[in-house]
Amino acid sequence: MENAFEKLKNIQKSNSPKQKVVQVKESKRENEKSYMLWLNKDLLKDLKKRAIEEDSNMKEIIEKALKEYLK
């Protein structure tokens, strides 16, 4: 009776084609850095609504507000 190790010895290598592994290039935004923050739920809800109303997105609205604040 063969044990599991003997069975492994008898398994032949497969000659099936292998996939080439290629490193994925990350696309980074040159002048941007990711930052996570916690916002009040109601404030976030209002921000989302505003973005829809202005046909914009939350990032653009936040950046605009921060630039104005930091003037």
User: What's the total number of domains in the chain?
Assistant: 1
Does any domain span residue 64?
yes
Angle between helices 41-53 and 58-69 (to 10 degrees): 110
Average pLDDT, the chain: 87
Does any domain span residue 55?
yes
pLDDT of the residue at 27: 66
- Residues 63 and 69: their CA atoms lie apart, in Å, by 10
Mean pLDDT of 46-58: 97
In contact, 65 and 56? CB cutoff 8 Å: no
The pLDDT confidence band at residue 56, using thresholds 50, 70 and 90, is very high
- Residues 63 and 47: their CA atoms lie apart, in Å, by 12
Does any domain span residue 67?
yes
- pLDDT digit string (tens) for 10-40? 777 777 777 788 877 766 677 888 889 999 9
pLDDT of the residue at 58: 96
> 50 lies in which domain range?
39-71
For the chain, the straight-line distance linking the first and the last C-alpha, in angstroms and rounded, comes to 82
Does any domain span residue 32?
no
